[in-house]
Amino acid sequence: MTDPRILAERFPGDFVFGVATAAFQIEGATKADGRKASIWDAFSNMPGRVYGRHNGDVACDHYNRLEQDLDLIKALGVEAYRFSIAWPRIIPEGTGPVNEKGLDFYDRLVDGLKARGIKAFATLYHWDLPLMLAGDGGWTARQTVYAFQRYAKTTIARLGDRLDAVATFNEPWCSVWLSHLYGIHAPGERNMDAALHALHFTNLAHGLGVSAIRSERPNLAVGLVLNAHSIYPGSDSAEDEAAADRAFDFHNGVFFGPVFKGTYPERFFSALGHRMPKIEAGDMETIAQPLDWWGLNYYTPMRVSHDPSETAIFPATIDAPPVADTRTDIGWEVYAPALGDLIRKLNAVYTLPDCYITENGACDNTEVANGEVNDRMRLDYIVDHLGVTADLIGEGYPVRGYFAWSLMDNFEWAEGYRMRFGIVHVDYETQVRTVKKSGHWYGALARHFPKGNHRAG
């Protein structure tokens, strides 16, 4: 096992080590204190959508165990906590009355972090759209953009004075493609036209969210969290190379292009632009406002080959087989070099601000034995990816922090509770938390920071 002290020496003294969660995955209390249903509450309760019809009604009961969980974060020794705010707690119907009790909960959360000397990195949208908005079309409807703008302004007006950073959206790739094209996440659509509408309106909501945040707190660091894909061709054939380029446009460029260049990728737009909603005057300028930072969520590479079928539509790819032998317990290929390749490529294609690795981790379902969890596979995964992160900093890339996913085992979306990503084990029957071997190691690393202010780059 790598000595955390040795790895710590490879990072600048002001590098931020943190842990991350999301509201729907841990909070529970889905009907408490004025909260109303989200699309994930509905989706979870439909047969065949989520493993075992698991739902978020209790989850990790974080809503009722807030102080203990904040003490847990403090005890781990990390410097920052990335969490999401549940829109259905703040404006339960998406539009209409603001729910003060919902804001009160996040007041307690942020104040609790401040009292413990932990930085607060908030995310405004981590997929839990108020269900009432789905009746008006959800993310396929332009009016949802304005509902998000108001939600962002309301939330930042209340909490923004105590936040260290805020992101508008988490992984729009998931809430666009996975939710509206592949049907795996709520609302479970399998329709390219719906997905293309959700794409533009999500991008536009990000832009209006940035404006809303800055109107309330001009000096608050605002960013966007993207699960960019590190895409490799299945072979060195010209067809597969071209397929990988198209996949880059489809999976990365449709978000990075509008935000960092003010345009959708040309190949993508020429193939599918006619099926998108009307792009109104000013939309692209709104989307492309400069950001203070961006977050990368990375887990596994994407490998693609050309799809030769005549009915294939853009990006016209099929999955290519993995190259590395190691898989996590959710079946994802472990290939740490892809993290470095991805950040290098994105910085070559786009002019990007400071980066935080806002999620990285592994599904390792090792259970408690004799009061301990020896999750060696997860620990090896984190060590390898932190090594790549240190390499990037050494090359001059502005990577400023790393957030382990996740603080604790939780509701893993369509996989329910059967997949465990936490560095802290949760017994869902008793809600007992047990710090895993990876958690002890990560805490030992994090306690070396901050150590002076010798900034890299």
414 belongs to a structural domain: yes
Residue 360 lies in a domain: yes
The one catalytic residue in 171, 189, 216, 333 is 171
Collapsing DSSP to helix, strand or coil, 233 comes out as: strand
* Within-domain flag for 396: yes
Please identify which of the residues 79, 189, 359, 412 carries the catalytic annotation: 359
Contact between residue 255 and residue 203 where contact means Cβ atoms under 8 Å apart: yes
CATH code of 391's domain: 3.20.20.80
Q: Environment class of residue 3 by beta-carbon count within 10 Å: exposed (0-12), middle (13-18) or buried (19+)? A: exposed
Which secondary structure element, helix H or strand E, spans residue 270, and what is its range?
helix 266-272
pLDDT (mean) for 134-156: 98
- Let me know if residue 452 belongs to a domain: no
Identify whether 171 is a catalytic site residue.
yes
* Residue 221: strand pairing partners: 165
For residue 24, CA distances in Å to 58, 189, 425 come to 10, 20, 18
- At 81-136, the pLDDT tens digits run 999 999 999 999 999 999 999 999 999 999 999 999 999 999 999 999 999 999 99
- The per-residue pLDDT for 251 is 98
- pLDDT for residue 457: 37
- Tell whether 453 is covered by a domain: no
Query: Is residue 434 a part of any domain in this protein?
Result: yes
Amino acid making up residue 136: D
Residue 456 lies in a domain: no
Q: What is the mean pLDDT of the chain?
A: 97
CA distance linking residue 115 with residue 40, whole number of Å:
32
Residue 164's domain comprises 4-446
Instruction: Say how far residue 311 (Cα) sits from the centre of its chain.
Output: 33
27 included as an active-site residue = no
CB-based contacts of 368, cutoff 8 Å, min separation 6? 425, 427, 434
Asked if the structure places residue 159 within a domain, the reply is yes
Task: State residue 122's pLDDT score.
Answer: 99
Proportion of the chain above pLDDT 90, given as a percent = 98
What are the φ and ψ backbone dihedral angles of 199, each rounded to 5 degrees? -60, -55
Total domain count, the chain: 1
